[in-house]
Amino acid sequence: MSNSGAWPSLDYDGWKDTLATLHLWTQIVGKVRLERTPWINHSWHVPLYVTARGFGTSPIPAGERVFEIDFDFVRHSLDITVSDGRQASVPLVARSVADFYGEVMGHLDALGVPTSIHTTPSEIPNGTPFELDRHHNAYDPDAAQRFWRVLASLHRVFQRFRARYVGKSSPVHFFWGSFDLAVTRFCGWPAPEHPAGIPALPDWVAREAYSHEVSSLGFWPGGEQFPHPILYAYAYPTPEGFAEAAPRPEGTTWSADLGEYVLPYEVVRNAPDPEAAILDFAQDTYVAAADLAGWDRAALEWPEGAQGPRGR
């Protein structure tokens, strides 16, 4: 059983209020990046990235300057840093989304990087605009830090998996809309138009995100309809026979409701080798999707640890 600090417990019911508040806080920060960053295919200009202390935006353009916004789950602060040397911090404590939004926007104004964002939450049905949301106001620092530690461990493993692919692959990034960490592989072929219909997300965004065939791996901390943290894997379009592929490790199941394979995080953290369990899950679901869809795997893959194209 793994009880190491790399794979802490993350019971959904125990931190769901903090999760809901943190989800909305990340949307505020993510939308700042969205508004100021040139559009990149598949919305790759909007996610956050895991850091050594939490997750953050990476540099955001601001005229001839750049700035970054980082969640620090060690010191429990949101740090805004501008390339001209100015900076500001917002304490991460129990406070409403409205208060957090107001303080972040006020600091951006004071730092000379004022930014106007669309304040309705994305991918959340019937979401309350940030400036009006005083219902979500929880923050458990221990839970937030455990969540970040899980993401940091998963980032390391997902990077290993990403390194095995020479075809187009996304970065390992954290989508604040769906609130999940993901890495996605592409074969290069156009895909059928996605049906879209994602709550509070324009249909054209979803369709552009899935404009080409994909095999995707990710981690989601859970929600009201599925109250457990899980690793997931899916393909779009879903090839015939994918749901019957029965990949490793033990505990992996096909969710017809989600249309993807799921592996409970508790199974992973209690495995003799959590990293190996994740890589088995990632590899088996990818191989099933790629083989069933007829991807040219010989052209798209390379050995882990290879240096330069094809190891040369």
Question: Quick one: 216 and 253 in the same domain?
Answer: yes
Q: 156-176, pLDDT tens digit by residue?
A: 999 999 999 999 999 999 999
Question: Quick one: 162 and 281 in the same domain?
Answer: yes
Q: What string of pLDDT tens digits covers the 312 residues of the chain? A: 333 499 999 999 999 999 999 999 999 999 999 999 999 999 999 999 999 999 999 999 999 999 999 999 999 999 999 999 999 999 999 999 999 999 999 999 999 999 999 999 999 999 999 999 999 999 999 999 999 999 999 999 999 999 999 999 999 999 999 999 999 999 999 999 999 999 999 999 999 999 999 999 999 999 998 999 999 999 999 999 999 998 999 999 999 999 999 999 999 999 999 999 999 999 999 999 999 999 999 999 998 766 665 544
Q: For tokens 């894997």, what's the residue?
A: 233
Type and span of the H or E element at 196: none
Question: Quick one: 73 and 154 in the same domain?
Answer: no
Question: Quick one: 293 and 159 in the same domain?
Answer: yes
DSSP string, 216-236: EEEEE--BTTB-S-EEEEEEE
Residue 312 within a domain: no
Question: Quick one: 77 and 44 in the same domain?
Answer: yes
Instruction: Name the domain boundary from 64, 99, 132.
Output: 132
- Closest by CA position to 137, among listed 277, 280, 261, 23: 23
Question: Per the omega criterion (within 30 degrees of 0), is the bond before 237 cis?
Answer: yes
* Residue numbers of the domain that contains 166: 141-300
Residue 215 within a domain: yes
Question: Quick one: 180 and 295 in the same domain?
Answer: yes
Instruction: Name the domain boundary from 97, 132, 167.
Output: 132
Q: How many domains does the chain have?
A: 2
